Amino acid sequence: MGKARMEAFSDGVIAVIITVMVLELKVPHDEDIAALAPLFPVFLTYVLSFVYIGIYWNNHHHMLHACSQVTGSVLWANLHLLFWLSLVPFTTGWMGENHFAAVPTALYGGVLLMAAIAYWILQQLIIAAQGPDSLLKKAVGGDWKGKLSPFVYVVAILAAFKAQWISQALYFAVALIWLVPDKRIENALRSKELP
Contact positions vs its own copies (CB under 8 A) = 1-2, 5-9, 11-20, 22-25, 27-33, 35-36, 47, 50, 54, 57-58, 61, 65, 72-73, 75-76, 79, 82-83, 86-87, 89-90, 93-94, 97-98, 101-104, 107, 179, 181, 183, 186, 189
**Exposed/middle/buried for 62, CB within 10 Å: 0-12, 13-18, 19+?**
buried
CA distance to 22, 33, 56, 170, per residue, from 62 (Å) = 26, 41, 10, 25
Nearest to 96 by CA among 170, 39, 36, 175: 39
Nearest to 103 by CA among 167, 57, 187: 167
Quote the least distance from Cβ 93 to its own copies, whole Å: 4
Quote the least distance from Cβ 148 to its own copies, whole Å: 20
Nearer to its own copies, 153 or 178 (CB): 178
Nearer to its own copies, 1 or 151 (CB): 1
Quote the least distance from Cβ 89 to its own copies, whole Å: 6
Nearer to its own copies, 83 or 151 (CB): 83
Quote the least distance from Cβ 44 to its own copies, whole Å: 13
Asked if residues 146 and 116 have their Cβ atoms less than 8 Å apart, the reply is: yes
Nearer to its own copies, 13 or 154 (CB): 13
What DSSP character marks residue 66? T
Nearer to its own copies, 151 or 165 (CB): 165
Quote the least distance from Cβ 14 to its own copies, whole Å: 7
Quote the least distance from Cβ 156 to its own copies, whole Å: 17
Nearer to its own copies, 89 or 153 (CB): 89
Query: Mapped to the 3 state alphabet, what secondary structure does 121-174 carry?
Result: HHHHHHHHHHCCCCHHHHHHCCCHHHHHHHHHHHHHHHHCCCCHHHHHHHHHHH
